[in-house]
Amino acid sequence: MLRRPLTALCRVVGVVLVALLALAPLAPAHAADRAKQAPTCAPITVEDSAKKATAVFSGTVSDQTQQPRPDGQPGAVYLQTITVDMVYRGGIRTETVQVQTDRLRGACSLGALEVDREYMFFVSGTGEPWVAAGDSGTRVQNDKVLGEVGDLLGEGEPPIAPPTEHAVFEPVDTSAPQSLSRAAAPGAALVIVGLLGLLVVGGIRRRLG
């Protein structure tokens, strides 16, 4: 009578062992995936971000390319083309700029920015390209961020100033007007010439007559 319960118990234990063996390889895989992800960057205020930034501007990511890291470490470098909206610092005078971000395993980094998304950029470098590090404070644009940046750095300005309309003035003749006698002189001369002509013609007729 005891054989049947023992047999059933053995089957249950066997099923449990098989399940444990099947799940065991999954644990290292999950751990590896977590290791590939960059650690969460420590939060940084807009004020601190602005203090250490060479340039501050808002813009939308219009294009992106990925390249291997030049230092050979695991990860990637991303070069984003940004359509600039407003410039708060940095003297940017072009409609588009390039911003470099990176992804480095085990280090705080921004990774790839989302195309067609608007960001507030706090960047360093010379602009060829600008660099947004993981701790730069570069973040998705929203009303709160825009308000804080405006309070710190002013309203900003577009990268290209709107054209200024210039008034066109016609030149005005400032010379003194002619006197009445000078204006009438040509007409008077013609009258005199005409009278002299009549006198000459009359004299010739009298001689002929």
Q: Which amino acid is at 100?
A: Q
Structure tokens at 17: 């062992």
Q: Give the pair of three-digit tokens for residue 184.
A: 């009438």
E-assigned strands of the chain? 55-67, 75-89, 96-104, 118-123, 130-131, 139-140
Contacts of 146 (CB under 8 A, 6+ apart): 58, 120
pLDDT at 135: 95
Average pLDDT over residues 22-32: 37
Tokens of 71: 């230092």
Provide the pLDDT for residue 159: 95
Half-sphere exposure of 75 toward its Cβ, with a 13 Å CA cutoff?
Answer: 22
Averaged pLDDT for residues 55-74: 95
Per-residue model confidence (pLDDT) at position 58: 98
pLDDT at 133 over 70: yes
- What is the residue type of 86? M
Identify the pLDDT of residue 40: 75
pLDDT of residue 119: 98
How sure is the predictor about 199, in pLDDT bands with cuts at 50, 70 and 90? low
pLDDT for the residue numbered 196: 67
Least confident of 8-12, 90-94, 114-118, 162-166: 8-12
- Which residue did the predictor score with more confidence, 33 or 160? 160
Residue 1 has pLDDT above 60, yes or no: no
**Which residues share a beta bridge with 77?**
67, 102
Contacts with 139 (C-beta within 8 Å, 6 or more apart), sequence order? 119, 120, 145
d(CA 54, CA 71): 24
pLDDT tens digit sequence for 142-190: 999 999 999 999 999 999 876 666 556 666 666 665 555 555 556 656 6
Whether residue 4 is predicted with pLDDT greater than 90 in this model: the reply is no
Residue-level pLDDT at 160:
87
**Architecture of the domain defined by 46-153:** Beta Barrel (2.40)
- Nearest to 84, CA basis, from 67, 62, 113: 62
